[in-house]
Amino acid sequence: MKTRSTLWWITLHLTSLVLVASFFSLGQWQLHRAADLKASVKPVADIAEVPLSQIFSVGQKFSSMQSERRVTVSGRYIANYYVVDAGTRSEVSLLETTSGSILVLRGVGQPAQTNEDVTIGGRLTSPSSDGTDSNTNGPDQLSRIDPVLIAGQFDRLMNGYVTAYAERGSTASSMKFALTESAPLPIKKVPGFYWQHLLYVVLWWMLILMVIYLWARTIRLERKIGMLAEPTEGTK
């Protein structure tokens, strides 16, 4: 009776390791989805303003705990843009700070005065996914509020933008800000139910135990077959 070849054993071990790693990653992903879902239903409207630099920096990705946080940020406007939504023009300016630059959706009004110190109060907002990658009618019009569209013009851009509800220190004329400070937060929805994501975590990690069991059982059976084959080969 022939024993398994070296290639067969390598294939068995590699396949088992890949399955274990894949099921573990899927379980981790579902666990994070459950955490995001739980965080999305927490009341965060009363969270106090925090300096933007304390929770966000250049190159950092958004998380559910950062999106729509009330922040303050100080700096100087260095460029003005605008977006048009449903026929309404809204002013968007690039604010340069000591830790990087970030777009600010100011609201309806006049373009910001550049190179003067201002302090902005607003909500940290994820980049807009609507529109195209190019400007539409002019060099200052953005198709969506996304720092990717101006990445070739400026360095150290922060991801996303701030939707302003207050602006202090600016000498520009009055603005109809994009957001009122007391406005309710948008409802963020994560697909599925909390218990459903946890159930998938249990399912994926139970499959890990099943793979390990079958892996160990196969090794044990093959060793037993090999031990039985040795006396038979010795009598020939």
- Looking at the fold, whether 167 and 65 belong to one and the same domain comes out as yes
Kindly compute the dihedral angle of the four CA atoms of residues 154, 158, 163, 169, in this order, to the nearest 10 degrees: -70
- Looking at the fold, whether 84 and 107 belong to one and the same domain comes out as yes
- Looking at the fold, whether 150 and 218 belong to one and the same domain comes out as no
Q: What's the pLDDT band for 94 if we cut at 50, 70, 90?
A: very high
- Looking at the fold, whether 117 and 84 belong to one and the same domain comes out as yes
177 and 167 in contact (C-beta within 8 Å)?
A: yes
| CATH number of the domain that residue 96 is part of | 2.40.50.140
- Which helix or strand (DSSP H or E) is residue 225 part of? helix 194-234
- Looking at the fold, whether 12 and 54 belong to one and the same domain comes out as no
- Looking at the fold, whether 64 and 22 belong to one and the same domain comes out as no
What are the CA-CA distances from residue 234 to residues 1, 2, 34, 165, 221 (Å)? 11, 13, 59, 87, 21
**What mean pLDDT is predicted for residues 104-110?**
90
pTM confidence score: 0.56
Q: How many domains does the chain have?
A: 2
- Looking at the fold, whether 149 and 216 belong to one and the same domain comes out as no
Structural domain including 199 reads 6-38+192-234
- Looking at the fold, whether 220 and 145 belong to one and the same domain comes out as no
Q: What's the pLDDT band for 60 if we cut at 50, 70, 90?
A: confident
Q: Return the pLDDT at 168.
A: 86
Alpha helices in 41-187 (DSSP H): 52-55
